[in-house]
């Protein structure tokens, strides 16, 4: 239900909080690290490395989207 509310009010939230997309990428990156840790602890080898790589990309996108959102917000205000 929470995600449906975010989906419905995304444009309004993004106008007031331009860094909100970056925050969700950070949350996804942290969750990918947790999944990678769990797979490593079970003894898997290749799949956790994939999740580690995914988390690096998610953190990169978090900083990129946050910077773009803040820059866009500063230009429009």
pLDDT of residue 17: 78
- Distance between start and end Cα atoms, the chain: 31
Q: Are the CB atoms for 67 and 21 separated by under 8 Å?
A: no
pLDDT of residue 77: 65
User: CA 56, 57, 63, 69: dihedral to nearest 10 degrees?
Assistant: -160
- CA 6 – CA 21 distance, rounded (Å): 11
pLDDT of residue 11: 80
pLDDT of 70 higher than 80: no
pLDDT of 18 higher than 80: no
Strands annotated E in the chain: none
pLDDT of 50 higher than 70: yes
- CA 29 – CA 32 distance, rounded (Å): 5
């Amino acid at each position: 239900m929470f995600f449906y509310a975010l989906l419905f009010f995304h444009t309004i939230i993004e106008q007031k909080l331009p860094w909100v997309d970056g925050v969700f990428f950070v949350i996804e990156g942290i969750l990918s690290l947790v999944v990678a840790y769990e797979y490593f602890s079970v003894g898997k080898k290749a799949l956790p490395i994939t999740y580690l790589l995914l988390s690096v990309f998610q953190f990169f996108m978090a900083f990129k989207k946050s910077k773009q959102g803040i820059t866009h917000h500063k230009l429009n205000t």
